[in-house]
Amino acid sequence: MNKKFTILVVDDNRAFSQNLRDILELKDYVVITANDGFQAIEIIKTTAIDLIMMDIKMPVMNGVETFKKIKKLIPDAPVIMLTAYALEELIQESLKEGAFACLRKPIDFEELFATLEKAIHSGSMILVVDNDEFLCQNLHDILTKKGYRVSVALDGDSAIEKVSSEVFDIIILDMKLPPLNGLETYLKIQKISPHIVAVFITGFMTEMEDLIKTTREKGAYAHLEKPIDINKLLSVLDQIKLQK
């Protein structure tokens, strides 16, 4: 990181905010804290903020309400929501409003630092879903070098869980997955993130013909055959980027 990255932590729990500040400063981030939504908004009006980490459950004005107001002031700053509670409606509302991710308390710092790294870089968020670990790692490495922010899931359930807590632009999804197949996974993900763009991959084009037809009818953007032609995949991703 050449530039010091400034993070605003918004949480009514002062001890939690201070602890998070201490840890993030060890990673060379600049950290400012606010104890409620109103204070956060005042800070944003006078200070250049690169990213906000904000508790969902706060008194008077909750995190989602605060986020909506902040978005009008600094629409391009990523916002990571935090929660210790099962507030599924508020979590989904924040993600639909454009929050970058939602992390659970107590914070898993490995997950937090990985999320921050994704938020710092500006490439599209891609979720690769395939039970072939080698393929997933290969695609992760190639796409990351091309400037994309990439996460991996090895089955449909894990993919659905990731989409429930992070916002993805594109999903690269194998047709043949355990326990849910690619179509079943995609339909569930569509309900959570209706704007996600799906690129299906399969080594069984003939066998999966009916399933492929159904995915097209459900809005899939493209279908690629395994072994994947990386140049063709990158071309498809470029087309998606141009159309967004």
Asked, as a colleague might, if the bond just before 59 is cis with ω within 30 of 0, I would say no
pLDDT of the residue at 149: 85
Kindly state the helix (H) or strand (E) to which residue 57 belongs, with its residue range. none
146/155 Cα distance (integer angstroms): 24
Structure tokens at 231: 């140049």
pLDDT of the residue at 2: 42
The CA dihedral of 3, 4, 5, 8, to the nearest 10 degrees, is -150
pLDDT of the residue at 77: 87
Question: 19-35 in b/e burial notation, b at 16+ Cβ within 10 A?
Answer: ebbeebeeeebbbbbbb
Task: Map out the domains of the chain as residue ranges.
Answer: 6-120, 125-243
pLDDT of the residue at 19: 96
Strand partners, 222: 199
Q: Is the pTM of this model over 0.85?
A: no
pLDDT of the residue at 122: 62
Burial environment of residue 188 by CB neighbours within 10 A (0 to 12, 13 to 18, 19 or more): middle
Residue bearing tokens 């490995």: 110
pLDDT of the residue at 139: 96
Candidates 185, 211, 167; CA nearest to 131 is 185
Amino acid at residue number 66: T
May I ask the CATH class of domain 6-120?
A: alpha beta
CATH 3.40.50.2300 describes domain 125-243: yes
Q: Are 90 and 61 spatial neighbours (Cβ–Cβ below 8 Å)?
A: no
Ranges under pLDDT 50 in the chain:
1-2
6-120 and 125-243 share one fold: yes
CB contact set of 55 (below 8 Å; sequence gap of 6+): 10, 11, 12, 13, 63, 81, 82, 83
Candidates 38, 7, 5, 1; CA nearest to 21 is 7
Q: Is the dihedral of CA 24, 29, 31, 37 positive or negative?
A: negative
66/171 Cα distance (integer angstroms): 29
Candidates 23, 87, 17; CA nearest to 52 is 17
Strand ordering across the sheet containing 222-225: 149-153, 125-129, 170-174, 197-202, 222-225
